Amino acid sequence: MKYLQLTTDREQATLFTCLNNAFLQLRGVPEEIWFDNMKNVVDHSKSQFTHAVFSKTFRQYAKDAGFNPIACRPFRPQTKGKVEALARTMDRLLVFNHEFENLTDLQEIVTMFMEDLNHNEASQVLGCPPALRWREDKENFKAYDEAQLSIYTQPQPEIIRKVSKESLVLYKGRKYSVPLSSIGHHVILEVSDGSLKIYDSELLFAEHQLTDKPFNYRREDYLEIAKSDVYNHLTEEARVNENLLAYDEL
């Protein structure tokens, strides 16, 4: 069976919502699921070209759901063929351009398209409509705790910080750099799997890996700060210490 769902973002909670809805349609969880190397699945900071490392939250979700996640190897011919086949399937939705007025209409189009794929078209791999094969395979799908998986889709409380005069934001006793233009602004912090995303007016404008370092500078931010007068309010000794700490964190 194929499952399609319209989404408006690529957040990890949205991915979990889609997976939960897919399990609901399948009436169970398959033994394994293959994934592209997307950011909300794979921890790119810990992965190597030949070995993908799943993010902590995603690994826990897979464990709670009861499936074995497998990351597609990049540039592998078999993977490339599957990706291209999926792209061709999605391209078939282009004919519906300008035939909807809102997201509700578009979701109805996507749902009808999914129903057609599952019930009226023979899969090239299966040789029959996926719905027919599902009737044979559904007994192999595992039961899951719907309430447990719903925890992963709940919105996290909003974290708001004011950017300091030094163009830094504080999170759990550690400081992280942002562009000078945001000094004095109230920004929103989003934390996920060791990553800190910083938004200003809903625009993502800085991202850091969470560390135990007292100061964390992006190179572009530090260069901008070094050319400015943001440390003029400090004493000469304090300014030197601040610069030395920043230099160590680059």
Residue 73: pLDDT band (50, 70, 90) is confident
- Answering whether pTM is above 0.85, one says no
Q: Are residues 105 and 202 in the same domain?
A: no
Q: Which two tokens stand for residue 92?
A: 């078939």
Task: Specify the CATH number for the domain of residue 100.
Answer: 3.30.420.10
Q: Are residues 172 and 118 in the same domain?
A: no
Q: Is residue 3 part of a domain?
A: no
Q: Are residues 164 and 141 in the same domain?
A: no
HSE toward the beta carbon, residue 65, CA cutoff 13 A: 29
Which of 153, 184, 206 lies at the terminal end of a domain, its last residue?
A: 153
Q: Is residue 133 part of a domain?
A: yes
How many domains does the chain fold into? 2
Which of 115, 133, 153 lies at the terminal end of a domain, its last residue?
A: 153
Query: What are 152-206's pLDDT values in tens digits?
Result: 998 778 899 999 999 999 999 999 999 999 999 999 998 877 789 999 987 889 9
Q: Are residues 63 and 170 in the same domain?
A: no
Alpha helices (runs of H) in the chain, residue ranges in sequence order: 12-26, 56-65, 77-91, 103-119, 130-137, 146-150, 219-226, 236-249
Which of 153, 180, 196 lies at the terminal end of a domain, its last residue?
A: 153
Higher pLDDT, 227 or 75: 227
Question: What pLDDT was estimated at residue 182?
Answer: 92
Query: What are 33-45's pLDDT values in tens digits?
Result: 988 888 888 887 7
Question: What pLDDT was estimated at residue 189?
Answer: 93
Higher pLDDT, 85 or 81: 85
Give dist(CA 13, CA 191) in Å, integer: 12
Q: Are residues 167 and 230 in the same domain?
A: yes
State which residues form the domain around 36.
Answer: 12-153
Q: Are residues 102 and 139 in the same domain?
A: yes
Question: What pLDDT was estimated at residue 220?
Answer: 92
| Residue 196 bridge partners (DSSP) | 191, 208
Question: What pLDDT was estimated at residue 77?
Answer: 57
Give dist(CA 185, CA 6) in Å, integer: 34
DSSP 60: H
Q: Are residues 46 and 131 in the same domain?
A: yes
Percentage of the chain with pLDDT > 90? 38
